Amino acid sequence: MRQYFPVLTIAGSDSSGGAGIQADIKTMSAIGCYAMSAITSITAQNTTGVRSIQPILPQIVTDQIEMVVTDIPPLAIKTGMLCDAEVSRAVIDCLTEMSRRGTLRNLVVDPVMVSTSGSQLLEDEAIDIIVEKLLPLAEIVTPNRMEAVRLTGESDPEAQARRFREMGCRNVLLKGGDSDRTDVKTDWLSLDGSDQLMPLTADCVETRNTHGTGCTLSSAIASYLALGCGLEDAVRRGKLYITRALQAGAFVTVGRGHGPVNHFFNPRHLKNYNPKHYGCKD
């Protein structure tokens, strides 16, 4: 029997559909993976900001993850908004147990702390827990510039990469999409076993539709890892996907604030594979 490429997102729900679980599922589906979810919180938000956040009961979060992974083992997992300390502990306990059993594969951690509109999405108490327990489990961590400064206390990318490495992170993608440059945006990729930062540049896309770009990029990376791509290749493919999604949605108006990207600029059919021949599929 052939199988789909299952990917699990553990994140918060965005009622406006542009970020969070909704963006993750759209991204994974557009790339051709089978998207699954464990919802950590419900937000009342739109393109202009976040009105309120309701964390899900930690036991419900645990049950969601366990029911999914024991029946449809994911080939990759992406974590996004974990909201508070209790939910963070529940998620980390599940992932730690998976790691102990050898079933945790391709964990992409997007340390969602602040929304595009500037709303805080992660309680301060949860940050220390995530740094100590979650980051070392990750295959790659994908902070934006603001998050990298908050987590490391450093502003220079090389210093940030070193600090993340000290935290136990094997690979880090330091996103530069929120920089002030208007010609190109540069991300910095730090790979395990190398002291060199790899610059990954892309032309700027002139648009206000940037809601959910971080969620979309991390989900794309997780999807390509699930498809069997190597880490550097998955990151490059993920960057190309978000660039094209930005370009395709640049001139469409959705809401009065930061609108979403166009996740379905070139949707793929749901891919499947023979488990005996697992590898990267375009």
Catalytic annotation present for 118 = no
Instruction: Report strand pairing: 272-273 vs 197-203.
Output: unpaired
**239 included as an active-site residue:** no
The answer to whether the CB of 81 falls within 8 A of the CB of 112 is: yes
259 tagged catalytic: no
Q: Of these residues, 33, 83, 215, 229, which one is catalytic?
A: 215
Q: Which of 116, 210, 216, 243 is catalytic?
A: 210
Q: Are 106 and 223 in contact (CB under 8 A)?
A: no
Comparing CA positions, the residue from 215, 201, 178, 163 lying closest to residue 17 is 215
Taking CA atoms, 159 is separated from 6, 113, 166, in Å, by: 35, 20, 11
- Residue 235 phi/psi, 5-degree rounding, is -65, -45
Q: Which is catalytic among the residues 20, 214, 249, 259?
A: 214
DSSP assignment letter at 132: I
Active-site pick, 177, 212, 238, 259: 212
To the nearest 5 percent, what fractions of the chain are helix, strand and coil? 35, 20, 40
CA angle 273, 279, 282 (to 5 degrees): 80
The H-assigned helical ranges of the chain are 20-31, 58-69, 85-101, 124-129, 145-152, 157-166, 213-226, 231-248
Specify whether 213 is catalytic: yes
Do 189 and 157 contact (CB within 8 A), yes or no?
no
Quick one: residue 153, left, alpha or beta (phi over 0 = left, psi -120 to 50 = alpha)? left
What is the rounded radius of gyration, in angstroms, for the C-alpha atoms of the chain? 17
How far is the C-alpha of 221 from the C-alpha of 49, rounded, in Å?
Answer: 26
Of the candidates 62, 213, 216, 243, the residue annotated as catalytic is: 213
Catalytic residue among 26, 78, 175, 239: 175
Catalytic residues: 175, 210, 212-215
